Amino acid sequence: MTSPGLQAMGERRPLGPGAPGGDPRGDVLSSWLTSFEASLASLPRSEREDLVAEHRAHLEEIDEPPESVFGVPERYAARFLEAPTSGAVPGAVSGWRRLVRLAASLPALLLLLLGLIFLTTGLAAPFDPESTGLFVEGSALVGLGIGVGDASSTNLLGIWSLPILGGVGLLLSLAGLKLLDWSRRS
């Protein structure tokens, strides 16, 4: 049995899979739309009929089952029921969430940049060990990087520049990627 809303919109009744000219896809479509409309019962009738008509037209154009496109009708309809109360379009990202994404993206990009610097410095250490590493002069840090060492400074890392700087660079890069991934999902 179909709802009055579906009948009022000129629903085509499928003959059924066993009848000549029957359309099993039409049965599935009709069943999904009936459940969808029943789940939208709290919406005004005109709005409910518009939503059902739009979804019917879309589903008739494509050759896929409704549940593979929209999912379970009750759960899908819940998105439309939440939208008027929250003032948001279903699936839209709020301004606050965008701010959180941006705030998390900037440190993530900084971590990626620092990771790249450490990795590059670590990988360059075997090729120019005299001027690549972590250098100090007296009790003050002179520099970390390539071409920062001079005759009066001491390389604290020595031969360990490659594994230490490379490892720190790799950890910073992975942390940056993880933070960037988290910011996109939040």
Question: What is the per-residue pLDDT across 5-52, written as a single tens digit (0 to 9) for each?
Answer: 454 444 444 434 444 444 566 788 889 999 999 998 888 888 889 889
**What amino acid occupies position 151?**
A
List pLDDT tens digits, range 127-149. Answer: 888 878 888 877 776 677 766 66
Query: Cα(82)–Cα(181) distance, rounded to whole angstroms?
Result: 27
Joined together, the tokens standing for residue 77 give 């309809």
Under the banding of pLDDT at 50, 70 and 90, the label for residue 116 is very high
Q: Please state the domain extents for the chain.
A: 4-86, 95-185
**What amino acid occupies position 154?**
T
Residue 100 has pLDDT above 60, yes or no: yes
**Average pLDDT of every residue of the chain:** 78
Q: Residue 149: phi, psi to the nearest 5?
A: -85, 145
Query: How many Cα atoms occupy the beta-carbon half-sphere of 120 within 13 Å?
Result: 10
Closest CA relative to residue 43, chosen from 15, 93, 78, 17: 78
Mean per-residue pLDDT for 81-101?
Answer: 65
What is the pLDDT at residue 159? 84
Enumerate long-range contacts of 176-181, CB under 8 Å, 24 or more apart: 176/107, 176/108, 176/109, 176/110, 176/111, 176/112, 176/113, 176/114, 176/115, 177/108, 177/112, 179/104, 179/107, 179/108, 179/111, 180/104, 180/105, 180/108, 180/109, 180/112
Query: Cα(115)–Cα(165) distance, rounded to whole angstroms?
Result: 9
